[in-house]
């Protein structure tokens, strides 16, 4: 993948193409994001810089798969959780509902899988309470 614009175009084809061959090509090209832990930082880059909701969805769903299927180090899981809390607080209101739902699912999965590993995962409850008290 050479540029963010190319990634966004591939994501558009992945989620919207009526052509099964084109969709399969996009899926095989983008598979590395969900299967290789080296791409976790690229997923964060996509979340920070992409304007396409389909690229954001790719990053979120890829991280969800990584968190669920890979045995990620504790500190990395904590860092991803903290990043998501800050990301949702700052960008949440402007996101498409399907992207927002996917990111919330990712945060919940990280919290669930880490709940008994470290008390820092418990902080999400306090953070959510603070966030909700500011919204109302």
The domain ranges of the chain are 4-134
Helices (H), the chain: 4-16, 20-30, 32-35, 40-49, 53-69, 74-91, 97-114, 123-135
- Section 55-84 average pLDDT: 95
Q: What is the pTM of this model?
A: 0.89
* pLDDT at site 2: 67
Lookup: tokens for 34 = 């969900």
**Residues 72-91: tens digit of each pLDDT:** 999 999 999 999 999 998 99
The pLDDT of residue 136 is above 60? no
């Amino acid at each position: 993948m050479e540029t963010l614009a190319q990634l966004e175009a591939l994501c558009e084809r992945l989620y919207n193409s009526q052509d099964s061959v084109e969709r399969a090509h996009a899926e095989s090209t983008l598979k590395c994001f969900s299967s290789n832990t080296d791409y976790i930082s690229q997923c964060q880059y996509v979340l920070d810089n992409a304007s396409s909701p389909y690229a954001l969805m790719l990053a979120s769903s890829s991280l969800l798969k990584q968190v669920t299927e890979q045995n990620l180090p504790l500190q990395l899981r904590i860092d991803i959780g903290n990043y998501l809390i800050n990301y949702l607080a700052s960008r949440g209101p402007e996101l498409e509902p399907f992207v927002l739902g996917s990111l919330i699912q990712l945060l919940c999965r990280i919290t669930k899988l880490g709940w008994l590993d470290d008390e820092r995962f418990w902080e999400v409850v306090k953070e959510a309470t603070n966030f909700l008290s500011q919204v109302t």
